[in-house]
Amino acid sequence: MDIAALTTLAGIVEYAVPVLFASIGENITEKAGLTNLSVNGTIILSAMGGFVVSLNTNSILLGFITGALIGAAVAAIVAFSSITLKQSQVAIGFILALLCRDLAYFLGAPYTNKPGLFLSKVPIPGLSEIPIVGPVFFNHSLVVYASYLFIIIAFIFMYKTRPGLMLQGIGERPTAAFARGANVKGLRYLYTILGGALVGLAGPMYSLAVKIGWAGQLSGLDGVGWIALAITIFGGWNPLRVAFGAYLFGGLQQMGITLQSTTNIPIQILQAAPFPLMIFTLLLVNVGRAEWVERELAAMPEKPRKVLSKILRAMRTSPPASMGIPFENE
């Protein structure tokens, strides 16, 4: 395989990482029964905040901590507004998404296009030298390697541990979880803030590792948060499927970058292309629920009908039963 192809594949892995963290973070929040629509603004604000703090403190670590704290703070506002004040999660989240985005552009204006710190690549000895696999997966910065572990940890936590099963319980059947002694509201606070912190990490992953630096509105981050929300649904609230969706989006982004240098297609179209494609994928995932699809399947011969039915069932997703519904028993 030539160098250009290996570079493209490695770029897919790299570009997927921030949206992977954001999507799994939102996955955790929604598993707990809340919806945090502030993701887009949070990513932009934490990208700016992480870059500025790292620049002024000469510490990349503090930049990432800042991003996580920004994400946690925004998520705490969503949690307080929806759990304690019982306000609309959708309205609060959407307002915060716009507010954080505009705040990032305003506060970050003095730092636009300034040179700053960034994470260097750290090839893993031995593994990075394996043909094809090495350059694609093991010649990256530390955040990429962390993402591999994060996918596994998130899956094991959610489906193989007692706290993870409780997380699912408060999102699916909060009344039953409460009857068994769970502090439903407290746990919803915890997982909303934790999910927000993971979303916040996505920002400095962009500005300090993937799209290095802060370029204001030209940073190309506006819209990524909405994609993360779509990937959460596409992934059926399962960390492994969410990770697949993140890599799919990374592939679409990398395809746009590659086409910029090989075609005359306007850059604006290439930058926007992943978003309608992800929306189309999201619609495709849930098309099996449509009545007309059921009618068409019923009219098909038996063998193709069975095959298509299995595919549609495998793609179909269902949100946590109590997502977005306030819990009133406490």
Write the DSSP symbol of residue 113: T
pLDDT of residue 196: 97
Higher pLDDT, 13 or 318: 13
d(CA 49, CA 298): 54
pLDDT band at residue 270 under the 50/70/90 scheme: low
Q: pLDDT above 70 covers what percent of the chain? A: 88
Domains and CATH numbers, the chain: 3-315 (1.10.3470)
Write the DSSP symbol of residue 321: T
- Residue pair 326/91 in contact by the 8 Å Cβ criterion: no
**In this structure, what token pair is assigned to residue 221?**
């981050």
Q: Around 233, how many Cα atoms within 13 Å sit in the side-chain half-sphere?
A: 18
Mean pLDDT of 199-212: 94
| Those residues with Cβ within 8 angstroms of residue 190's Cβ, 6 or more apart along the chain or in another chain | 32
- Residue pair 1/247 in contact by the 8 Å Cβ criterion: no
Task: Calculate the CA 238 to chain-centre distance.
Answer: 12
Nearest to 249 by CA among 280, 218, 217, 214: 280
pLDDT band at residue 39 under the 50/70/90 scheme: very high
Mean pLDDT of 264-280: 67
pLDDT of residue 141: 94
pLDDT of residue 218: 83
The answer to whether the predicted template modeling score (pTM) of the entire model surpasses 0.85 is yes
| 131 pLDDT above the threshold of 80 | yes
Q: Mean of the per-residue pLDDT values for the chain?
A: 88
pLDDT digits (tens, 9 = 90+) for 133-149: 999 999 999 999 999 99
d(CA 190, CA 1): 46
| 268 pLDDT above the threshold of 70 | no
Q: pLDDT above 90 covers what percent of the chain? A: 62
pLDDT band at residue 285 under the 50/70/90 scheme: low
The CA radius of gyration of the chain, in Å to the nearest whole number, is 21
| 277 pLDDT above the threshold of 80 | no
pLDDT band at residue 274 under the 50/70/90 scheme: low
